[in-house]
Amino acid sequence: MDLSIVIPAKNEKDNVEPLINEIVAAIKGIYDFEIIYVDDGSDDGTFDELLRLKRQDQPFIHIIRHQYSVGQSTAIASGVKQASGRWIVTMDADGQNDPKDIPVMVQQAAALPAESHFCIAGYRKNRKDTAWYRFQSKVANKIRSKLLNDGTPDTGCGLKVLPKQTFLSLPYFDHMHRFIPALVNRMQGKVVVVEVNHRDRQAGVSKYNMLGRLGVGIVDMFGVMWLQKRFKQPVIADKQ
DSSP SS3 for 116: coil
Domain span including residue 38? 3-229
Q: Say how far apart CA 9 and CA 16 lie, in whole Å.
A: 9
> Which pLDDT tens digit goes with each residue over 13-48?
999 999 999 999 999 999 999 999 999 999 999 999
Which residues are CB-contacts of 37 (< 8 A; sequence separation ≥ 6)? Answer: 7, 9, 16, 50, 61, 62, 63, 64, 79, 93
Decide if 240 is inside a domain: no
Domain CATH code at residue 28: 3.90.550.10
pLDDT at residue 216 in the model: 54
| 236 falls within a domain | no
User: For a pLDDT cut of 70, what percent of the chain falls above it?
Assistant: 78
Is residue 237 in some structural domain? no
Q: Could you tell me if residue 93 is inside a domain?
A: yes
Task: Give the integer Cα–Cα distance in Å for 97 and 42.
Answer: 20
pLDDT in tens, 112-134: 998 899 999 999 887 766 666 66
Q: Is 151 inside any structural domain? A: yes
Q: Establish if 177 belongs to a structural domain.
A: yes
- Residue 188 in any domain: the answer is yes
Confidence of residue 221 (pLDDT cuts 50, 70, 90): confident
Answer for the pair 90, 160: CB distance below 8 angstroms, yes or no: yes
Across 106-115, 171-180, 205-214, the highest mean pLDDT is recorded for 106-115
What average pLDDT does the structure give for the chain? 86
DSSP state of 171: P
Task: Say what the pLDDT of residue 219 is.
Answer: 65
How many folded domains does the chain comprise?
Answer: 1
Position 86 in a domain: yes
Average pLDDT over residues 170-189: 89
The predicted pLDDT at position 176 comes to 87
Strand partners, 37: 7, 63
| CA–CA separation, 167 and 28 (whole Å) | 24
